[in-house]
Amino acid sequence: MLAVLGAGIGLMNSVLVWKLFGTDINSDIWLLNVGVIAILSLLVLIGVEQFQVFYTEIYLRNKEDAADFLGGAFVWAIVSGLVFSAVCFVIVDAIMDGFAGGFGRQAKELAIPVFLILLIQVAFSPLLHVVRCTLNVHHYYGASYCLSLILPLGQLLSLLVFIFIDEHDVIELAKWSSFSILVQLVLYPLILIKWASFPKNIDAKFFISFIKNSFTMRIGHSFHNFFVGMILNNALSYLAPGMISIFQYAKKFSDGLAGVAIGPQANIYHARQAKAWVERDKKLFYVNVKVYLKNTLPIYMVGVFLVWFIMPWLLEILSQGRDADSVIGIKFVFLALAAWQGIISIETIFAGVVVIAKRSMILWMVNGLFIISFFIAVKFIPNDSSVWWLAIAGLLTQCINFIFYAAFAWRLTNKHFP
């Protein structure tokens, strides 16, 4: 239920951005920066990714040592987040060139202040991760998820205020949206004080192992999202003004639908498959695949059908007909992105086998192949082309990924289940 709520808030934010800006340079700048901040907020977890694993281990062994470890992690999360954000501040021009190389001088001059204001979210992402993982270890799952909703709720309220007062300044919107981080900063110490203590006797070797392991895991998770996001956004920035917005609006609807219809079931599927793999239960393994497909694909296809018909009607009402051509563009880009997401949902079956078989090199190789293939495909798209072709390029490249993952999964499965 909370996952549905989170997806709903995300979609409402997209709809309100549409209501406020439509598809102009302001919406391009806002949506691009929100996407870049989301990518960096994951990358900054490079120093704390494995906190929950290590904290659980030490908590079960000795609660006093766990309190020291948590206190140390709290400090480390603040330091690593601030250092990472400081580096981003220094190289902001390079970041903008990487993600929005096609922006003109005026657009970049407007985009950079928005990015720097939103950067505060990146600075405290490691701290949010540590706090949420702590709540998860102590079985406060609802509280953990609610904590992650504070920022999107703050953005939602800011958008509502801006629509009400008819304010269209994207820099001011960034300032208002970032105020909600203060609510989180007040809550963090109140939450952690129950289990943390001032770090006095931290096992240095254990703590360094935690940082090293986090680095290894996060690099593996993030390099795909980082480079794909950079290639995609940079290509969009060379298209006509408003094309970023059309693509990102469609992507928000596609991601929201996938988050509700596929995300929860995928988590359950991976947990069940890990058990079947360890127990070498071949029958259960294939039953889990059938159950996953049965519980996701029909709901997802019905969802695509509903969004396809409802989304244009909703957007046209909110825009009062001023962006009719953009609505048509969003509708067709959504269809391509929904197909792309559908391929990923089935690919999850095969990628999951590679993960539970602990073949990280296969993940690196296949994801690396996707990045190179996608980059080449995008380079062949002329700058005066429709944004539709970027979505098609992603869909076709994902099909190549699908074939490789299926082949490796088939081989690993046959070897594991004789």
- In tens digits, the chain (418 residues) has pLDDT values of 666 777 778 888 888 888 888 888 888 999 999 999 999 998 898 888 878 878 887 887 777 777 888 888 888 999 999 999 999 999 999 999 999 888 888 889 899 999 999 999 999 999 988 888 888 888 787 787 788 888 888 999 999 999 999 888 999 999 998 888 888 887 777 776 766 555 556 666 777 888 887 787 667 667 778 888 899 888 888 888 888 888 988 988 898 888 778 877 787 787 788 778 878 888 888 998 999 999 889 999 999 998 888 888 878 777 665 566 788 888 889 999 999 999 999 998 998 888 778 777 888 888 889 999 999 988 887 766 778 888 899 999 999 999 999 999 999 998 888 7
Domain boundary among 219, 254, 282: 219
The predicted pLDDT at position 29 comes to 93
Q: 403 and 264, same structural domain?
A: yes
Q: How many domains does the chain have?
A: 2
Residue 32 CA neighbour count, 13 Å, CB half: 39
The pTM assigned to this predicted structure is 0.83
Q: 404 and 324, same structural domain?
A: yes
Q: 260 and 195, same structural domain?
A: no
Q: 244 and 112, same structural domain?
A: no
Evaluate whether 359 touches 208 at the Cβ level (below 8 Å): no
Query: Do the domain assignments include residue 103?
Result: yes
* Amino acid (one-letter) located at 376: I
Query: Do the domain assignments include residue 232?
Result: no
Q: 291 and 397, same structural domain?
A: yes
Q: 143 and 31, same structural domain?
A: yes
Q: 264 and 210, same structural domain?
A: no
Query: Do the domain assignments include residue 231?
Result: no
Q: 177 and 251, same structural domain?
A: no
* CA separation for the pair 142, 116 (Å, rounded): 31
* CA separation for the pair 231, 397 (Å, rounded): 13
Q: 146 and 256, same structural domain?
A: no
Q: 308 and 192, same structural domain?
A: no
The predicted pLDDT at position 148 comes to 83
In which domain, by residue range, is 336 found? 239-418
User: What's the token pair of residue 96?
Assistant: 């903008």
